[in-house]
Copies of this chain bind each other. A is one copy, B any other.
């Protein structure tokens, strides 16, 4: 029997809960994000950050986009920002990607994340506090992993960029794209993203490799690093790896079919190998990464619809990716299948999921749909942009993907504030925000159970 979850995840020691160094991860997460966005906006507004002055709103938009690792841009990163401005963006990306991984793990622990195979329902009491010591230890481990992967990324990408651009320029490109890729940020130094490397397998495969690993999340990465054998992995890690593989392969094949003869995309490439490489890049990038090697606005409607789904799903929990998360997606399918089969228990890999897990998946999906609905409604009411472009922009912001069919350039002040809010909700997680906003009434009342007609 496989382990359900790895055993080294930070447990929630009861003795520490009443200690003197309590912190509240969800609130701390949101406050850190907002503080860093304000600080980032101030720095990006400095004359030394841009070639020409930009508005406060554009500075705030850029800081939010970087901190939430989205990559939607209203000011071109490569030409409008100075080296200083680009470094500010890079630091925000690193803090936004790495920081959230840390906080996410802590939040999970703080929310009463049980790690054994206990039948009991998650205790509501184990909610709000976690010790300073646990924080420090988990944060250190995550930072070591992330920086290790990034060091490898910089070395590999340098081997392609340095011969092309020389040491300083090539090394900087390698650093920029490694941080942007591993943190699933999608920021690029060219306005057309990585389009010039569409037929370059070295750059394409390294960048996709970095953002896929980043999107697997801390738990899975650490397990792979420690266990090395597939059979030794926990069921959770296997599910994340399997779902990642299935979605990436399916999306690549569908992209290949849908765009094969589109003269503005795959049709312009010569040879099947080049088309396959570009399809792989575009098939893997919508689940949060947000780079592109082909023109997004030229994709067919059907391709764009497929991408809407991929952007909605996103990557693994506790990773540099956003979206509703792979696990939520899997639970939606598992719950539907279980119900249709007449099983009252939602099962996955021979384990029953708790009632809380199912309700949580439902809550995340509902909040995600509501956020996207409100966003599409507001942008539809305030702009004249094509509806597909609006839907694409909003889902891209929610999944902190950063792909755009061009609507970013059409946003007015209301539109920019809307997209900024959606990026933030998408990144800190609908539930984190909900936990903070909702009036928490820890009701101990148990009502009588009632049937309720649904279908």
Spell out A's residues near B (CB within 8 Å): 4-5, 104, 107-108, 113-115, 117-119, 121-122, 124, 127, 219, 235-236, 258, 300-302, 304-306, 309, 317-318, 325, 327-328, 331-333, 335-348, 350-367, 373, 376-377, 380-381, 386-388, 390-391, 429-432, 434-435, 437-443, 446-455
Q: Measured between C-beta atoms, what is the minimum distance from A424 to chain B in Å?
A: 15
Q: How far is the CA of A309 from the CA of B360 in the complex (A)?
A: 22
A451–B113 touching, CB < 8 Å: yes
Q: How far is the CA of A359 from the CA of B361 in the complex (A)?
A: 10
Q: Measured between C-beta atoms, what is the minimum distance from A286 to chain B in Å?
A: 14
Q: How far is the CA of A402 from the CA of B111 in the complex (A)?
A: 45
Extra inter-chain contacts (19) besides given A342-B441, A352-B448, A361-B454, CB under 8 Å:
A4-B450, A113-B453, A127-B342, A302-B377, A302-B380, A325-B454, A327-B452, A336-B363, A336-B367, A338-B359, A339-B362, A341-B440, A342-B442, A344-B355, A353-B450, A353-B452, A362-B362, A364-B455, A388-B388
Q: Measured between C-beta atoms, what is the minimum distance from A360 to chain B in Å?
A: 5
A438–B340 touching, CB < 8 Å: yes
A380–B301 touching, CB < 8 Å: yes
Most buried by B among A122, A317, A377: A377
A341 touches which one: B318, B386, B443 (CB < 8 A)? Answer: B443
A366 touches which one: B118, B332, B429, B430 (CB < 8 A)? Answer: B332
Number of copies: 2
Report chain B residues within 8 Å CB of A386.
Answer: 387
Q: How far is the CA of A431 from the CA of B453 in the complex (A)?
A: 13
Q: How far is the CA of A113 from the CA of B121 in the complex (A)?
A: 26
Q: How far is the CA of A318 from the CA of B16 in the complex (A)?
A: 53
A121–B348 touching, CB < 8 Å: no
A352–B453 touching, CB < 8 Å: no
Q: How far is the CA of A431 from the CA of B335 in the complex (A)?
A: 13
A327 touches which one: B127, B331, B454 (CB < 8 A)? Answer: B454
Q: How far is the CA of A450 from the CA of B367 in the complex (A)?
A: 24
Q: Measured between C-beta atoms, what is the minimum distance from A20 to chain B in Å?
A: 24
Residue in chain B with minimal CB distance to A377: B305
B301–A387 touching, CB < 8 Å: yes
A358 touches which one: B5, B336, B362 (CB < 8 A)? Answer: B362
Report chain B residues within 8 Å CB of A391.
Answer: 387, 391
Q: Measured between C-beta atoms, what is the minimum distance from A287 to chain B in Å?
A: 16
Report chain B residues within 8 Å CB of A356.
Answer: 339, 344
Question: With A258-B381, A391-B387, A453-B219 known to touch, is A358 a contact of B359 (CB < 8 Å)?
Answer: yes
Residue in chain B with minimal CB distance to A258: B381
A431 touches which one: B219, B305, B359, B455 (CB < 8 A)? Answer: B455
B117–A331 touching, CB < 8 Å: no
Q: How far is the CA of A186 from the CA of B332 in the complex (A)?
A: 33
Q: How far is the CA of A45 from the CA of B335 in the complex (A)?
A: 43
B302–A381 touching, CB < 8 Å: yes
Question: With A300-B381, A363-B339, A380-B302 known to touch, is A451 a contact of B122 (CB < 8 Å)?
Answer: yes
Q: Measured between C-beta atoms, what is the minimum distance from A301 to chain B in Å?
A: 4
A333–B439 touching, CB < 8 Å: no
A449 touches which one: B236, B328, B351, B434 (CB < 8 A)? Answer: B351
Q: What are 16 pairs between A and B in contact, CB < 8 Å?
A: A107-B455, A113-B453, A117-B450, A121-B344, A219-B453, A258-B381, A304-B380, A317-B453, A340-B431, A341-B442, A342-B442, A344-B355, A361-B362, A387-B388, A429-B455, A431-B455
